[in-house]
Structure 1
Amino acid sequence: MSNHETVKQQPDTLDRLLELIPGSPTYEIRHQRTKVVDATQGSEDLLLGAPVEGLSVIDRLYVALLACALTPSETLKNEYVKRLSALGAPDQTIQTVANAQFEHLNDPRLKQMLIFTATLITDPVKADKQALLALKASGLTTPQITALAQLIAFVSYQVRVYAGLNALKALNPSGAQS
């Protein structure tokens, strides 16, 4: 065990959501590659927490929420609902995004970000030059569009890792510790 692991106070998002604890088979398998665990959480922290000029954390959480709703991943969707609520996002907007009914949103910029998210998740071939130009027309800059695309890719990765670990955990039903 490295010093970093012993100092780490809180479990990362995936360990927490999967209720993985040190010593459980799934936790031990996952943490054989500490660099991957740390990089996964580090990416989440960067993409959802670090300042991105013109893209609020709430906007990015709406994108993550929609990506989880469309993939689908109910657990991660609920996680992003909780984070949005904790930041004071309006419940009606949260539910509109969670139900992928963003056509009812009044914010054209957010709506375009969510349309792009839905396109990238459900029909990536259509996330082409026209889709990018629509984002530009809604006021997003190239760095903001890049951050948005990176976030969508990360959430897709996060959902798949969660699903894989959850399946692994189900194969090892040795009580609450797996």
Structure 2
Amino acid sequence: MTDFTHINQRGEASMVDVSAKAVTTREARAEAYVRMSAETLQKILRGEHHKGDVFSVARIAGIQAAKQTSQLIPLCHPLMLSKVAVDFEALPESSQVRIESLCKLSGQTGVEMEALTAVSVAALTLFDMCKAVDPAMIIDGIRVLEKQGGKTGHWQADNGANE
């Protein structure tokens, strides 16, 4: 069995020391889905939702969340992100919105948690803005799609869509 990286010799939680790691360009992409009624999705797409442009608000929430990951997730390193993008894809045939994030930096540790936090908070914001008209929405399919950089190099998820 391998040793856990976030546990010290006494079995206590501990932040990993990354000071000896090389600075490399690191990038991660993640996705999440919000399932909703067809009517709710159409209101969003037609710009008829009573709370306005929910995608714009959710995009800003996701970007802000990525920048705050170390304050939300214990033992995550505070990172100087050089890029955060949050994009939305409406999937009317399945009454879903697919959210994808991209986080990037030059640093000593990966940005997977930042990418996951971005899509999670963007999805939560969509839910919050639409819950009055559609309280049965479901958030699911949150996962890392791809990571690049660092010692382990490039990794990509199997192409298992949530549609």
Q: TM-score category by the smaller chain?
A: under 0.3
As a proportion of its length, which structure holds more helix? 1
- After TM superposition, the score normalised by the length of structure 1 is 0.24
- After TM superposition, the score normalised by the length of structure 2 is 0.25
